[in-house]
Amino acid sequence: MNWKRAILGGILAELLLIAAFVPVVLVIGTDSVADPNNVPTVVLVVVIAGSFITTLLLMQWVARRVTSQFVLHGAVVGCAAFAVYIIPVVAGGGEQPPMYWLAHAMKLLGGMTGGIIAARRAGRPATAAV
């Protein structure tokens, strides 16, 4: 298990998601995202789809140095991306609307899907232990 690379992949996935999110917020205005329970649909689409896509893509980077346990590596990428977001939110006493929890689940699903894709590219079983 390449823990360092998987965790770094999750951190980079979350940073990439933030980089995609910022221009959307700048276009629609920061006031529109001030209330987490009343976020515009376009923002939710970017966050939910972006959560899946960024972890899937960064898992492909992680897989360059992985020879087995691709799905597990993808799960670590997704969990690391989730942790990067949720730790400051919880520490700051912030709240999470239900749609954000869906986005967090998409991070995990995106990483694991990326693991399946990487395993197929490598010609290996996605969950092989060796």
How far, in Å, are 25, 37, 43 from residue 29 at the CA level?
Answer: 5, 16, 11
In a domain, 127, yes or no: no
Q: Which pLDDT belongs to residue 130?
A: 46
Does the predicted TM-score (pTM) go above 0.75?
yes
Give helix then strand counts, H and E, for the chain.
4, 0
In a domain, 95, yes or no: yes
- Could you tell me if 9 and 77 are in contact, meaning their C-beta atoms sit under 8 angstroms apart? yes
In a domain, 103, yes or no: yes
Mean per-residue pLDDT pooled into runs of 10, the chain (130 residues): 95 95 84 76 90 97 93 97 93 85 96 96 72
In a domain, 44, yes or no: yes
Q: How far apart are CA 105 and CA 87, in angstroms?
A: 16
**E-state strands within the chain:** none
Name the amino acid, one letter, at 105: A
In a domain, 27, yes or no: yes
In a domain, 40, yes or no: yes
Q: Which pLDDT belongs to residue 37?
A: 75
The structure tokens listed for 88 are: 């400051």
> Which residue range forms the structural domain that includes residue 44?
3-122
In a domain, 32, yes or no: yes
In a domain, 130, yes or no: no
**Considering its fold, how many domains does the chain have in total?**
1
Q: How far apart are CA 12 and CA 30, in angstroms?
A: 24
